[in-house]
Amino acid sequence: MLKKLGKFNEYKGPVVIVVMDGYGVCERTEGNAVYHAYTPCLDNLFAKYQNTLLKAHGTAVGLPSDSDMGNSEVGHNAIGSGQVYSQGAKLVNEAISSGKMFEGKTWRELISNVKSNDSTLHFIGLFSDGNVHSHIDHLKGMIEQAKKEGIKRMRVHILLDGRDVGETSALEYVDPFEKYLDELRTGDFDIKIASGGGRMKVTMDRYEANWGVVETGWKTHVLGEGRQFKSAREAIETYRRELNVIDQDLPAFVIAEDGNPVGRIVDNDSVIFYNFRGDRAIEISRAFEETDFDKFDRKRHPKVIYAGMLEYDGDLHIPKRYLVPPPEIKNTMGEYLVNAGVTQLAISETQKYGHVTYFWNGNRSGKFSEELETYIEVPSDIVPFEERPWMKAAEITDRLIRELRTGKYRLARVNYANGDMVGHTGNFQAARIAIESVDLSLRRLLSVIDELGGIAIITADHGNADEMFELDKNGKPLLNKNGSIKAKTSHTLNKVPFIIYDNVKSNGYKLKEGEFGLANIAATAVNLLGYEAPDIWEESIISFDNA
């Protein structure tokens, strides 16, 4: 139970936490859509209100090293829980290196099923070392272990990245992997790439935004339906030549020999979806596991042993089998505030709705209290983000303002997805518009917060739009073969803003000096609500002493 903070009285109005997804702060201006955007509201905030920069990547959010980019999932875990937990990549690294993964019940089931039925072990997942959704080394570790244990036939279904790594880097992974497979093929060991496609076109939808993406993956991986090629290299080169698209947008392909797909998934096979991040793994897991599935016609539902790398939804238990137990995130901000009787609002559009709900609450579906919490999802448009970079910022702000004016909520949290989702497209001009759209929404929102006597914490979960060009070591843009600037579509390692917008009692506290991260936001927000923060959380960024 939270205790009242004796030295600070609560605000008349709400405390609103604004997460500007994909908004990093970078000194380099080349390709920096955040810098080049027209943002009078944010410029004023940095000039006139208390602010600092927070770490939003690496060890600050539970990732293995500070060379690992942050992402929206671990970022919202850290903001919402006030704690730093070992996250996806780190958990899997530890499970593989220690051998615990291969001693677990799920691995044993997968292997036993293939051996007893003389069937095939399939791997499906994002094919890169981006370390946001997956890592190719995890795939290799499982392949090598399965071979040691006597598995004779494996198939790999590759989802091409171009988002967390270079936008046209697919062959930098495919070619070495094919050589790696050649070296593994000894005796009667049979392993092949069987199918694939770009991550935004095949399999990896999230939040039920477009089940057609998952249906394409099902047809490709399971049914073996689709355009056929002799190799993944041939597919990638052909699509690039015909369509001039980056890796994440490459259509599906099926590898075939003599007109026959080499890797359909059939009864008695074992299937591993090796992504460790949950948002884009849930829907394909449901397609494999649900008997009463109705999102699309599966045509054929093979009886397989299916497992995810992690349990992607801990409340709904998706999937039923998983190789590595996820972090058990307890004592989140939402739960503590409910226990203190604090009313809360969470709002975003579909693309980031799960981040202000599921991930904010420590990978937990549902509310802690139906009475005290309101969750609002504004449906996202199903169009390319660069064609509508303003996304749903205006509609989110409209609804948020209406809800705040009811006076029902003491704390609200909102995510504006623009900087991240548009940043991933690699379109610099669209990313500028995305940042400007959020700035306009902020201006509208802050005036209402003043009207209500409230306060806003303005931050971000990681960088993205702050680096839209791939740069050389001298900070100059790299060029494609056709002379165009090489776009950067991944997250960044830059810090993110932390601004307290307070026109009521900002002289009652000051920001502490030192290095802080996203996990420090929870204690700060709770302090501003007039409560002491639990000792288990990372410390508050504000101090009430000698303010």
pLDDT, one tens digit per residue, over 365-396 is 899 999 999 999 999 999 999 999 999 999 99
Q: Which helix (H) or strand (E) holds 282?
A: helix 282-289
What are the tens digits of pLDDT across the range 338-362? 999 999 999 999 999 999 999 999 9
Instruction: Give the lowest-confidence range in 118-122, 209-213, 516-520.
Output: 209-213
Indicate where the chain has its CATH 3.40.720.10 domain(s): 15-84+328-543
Indicate where the chain has its CATH 3.40.1450.10 domain(s): 89-324
Task: Say how far apart CA 224 and CA 304 lie, in whole Å.
Answer: 16
- pTM of the predicted structure, to 2 decimals: 0.74
Cβ distance 248 to 163 under 8 Å?
yes
- Hey, what CATH topology would domain 15-84+328-543 get? Alkaline Phosphatase, subunit A (3.40.720)
Write down the pLDDT at residue 71.
Answer: 87
Residues of the chain above pLDDT 70, percent: 98
Task: Say how far apart CA 48 and CA 458 lie, in whole Å.
Answer: 14
**Nearest one of 312, 330, 329 to 321, comparing CA atoms:** 312
Q: pLDDT averaged over the chain? A: 94
Task: Indicate the DSSP class of residue 363.
Answer: S
What b/e sequence results for 488-515 when a residue is b if at least 16 CB atoms lie within 10 Å of its CB, and e otherwise?
A: bbbbbbbbbbbbbbbeeebeebebeeee
Alpha helices in 391-465 (DSSP H): 393-404, 418-421, 428-452
What are the tens digits of pLDDT across the range 311-343? 887 657 899 999 997 677 999 999 999 999 999
State whether residue 413 is helix, strand or coil.
strand
The beta-carbon contacts of 112-115 under 8 Å, at least 24 apart in sequence, are: 113/268, 113/269, 113/270, 113/305, 114/151, 114/153, 114/269, 114/270, 115/150, 115/151
What b/e sequence results for 103-138 when a residue is b if at least 16 CB atoms lie within 10 Å of its CB, and e otherwise?
A: ebebbeebbebbeeeebbbbbbbbbbbbbbbbbbeb
State whether residue 525 is helix, strand or coil.
helix
Instruction: Give the lowest-confidence range in 47-61, 238-252, 322-336, 392-406.
Output: 322-336
Cβ distance 168 to 128 under 8 Å?
no
Neighbour tally for 229: CB within 10 Å: 19
Q: Which helix (H) or strand (E) holds 351?
A: helix 350-354
* Tokens linked to 141: 């570790």
Task: Say how far apart CA 219 and CA 284 lie, in whole Å.
Answer: 12
Write down the pLDDT at residue 7.
Answer: 63
Instruction: Give the lowest-confidence range in 250-264, 295-309, 349-363.
Output: 349-363
Query: Angle CA(357)–CA(361)–CA(365) in degrees, nearest 5?
Result: 65
Catalytic residue among 65, 67, 72, 484: 72
Q: Is the pLDDT of residue 547 over 60?
A: no
Instruction: Give the lowest-confidence range in 247-251, 300-304, 363-367.
Output: 363-367
Say which CATH class 89-324 falls into.
alpha beta
Contacts of 435 (CB under 8 A, 6+ apart): 23, 33, 34, 37, 39, 418, 419, 465
Q: Is the pLDDT of residue 8 over 80?
A: no
C-alpha pair distances (Å), 437 with each of 219, 404, 417, 422, 442: 38, 20, 11, 11, 9
Write down the pLDDT at residue 510.
Answer: 94
Task: Say how far apart CA 386 and CA 422 lie, in whole Å.
Answer: 6
Residue 72: active-site member: yes
Q: Which helix (H) or strand (E) holds 11?
A: none
Q: Is the pLDDT of residue 546 over 70?
A: no
What are the tens digits of pLDDT across the range 116-133? 999 999 999 999 999 889
3-state helix, strand, coil split of the chain in percent (to 5) is 35, 20, 45
Residues 20-33, mean pLDDT to the nearest whole number: 96
Task: Say how far apart CA 525 and CA 390 lie, in whole Å.
Answer: 28
Task: Say how far apart CA 359 and CA 3 lie, in whole Å.
Answer: 25
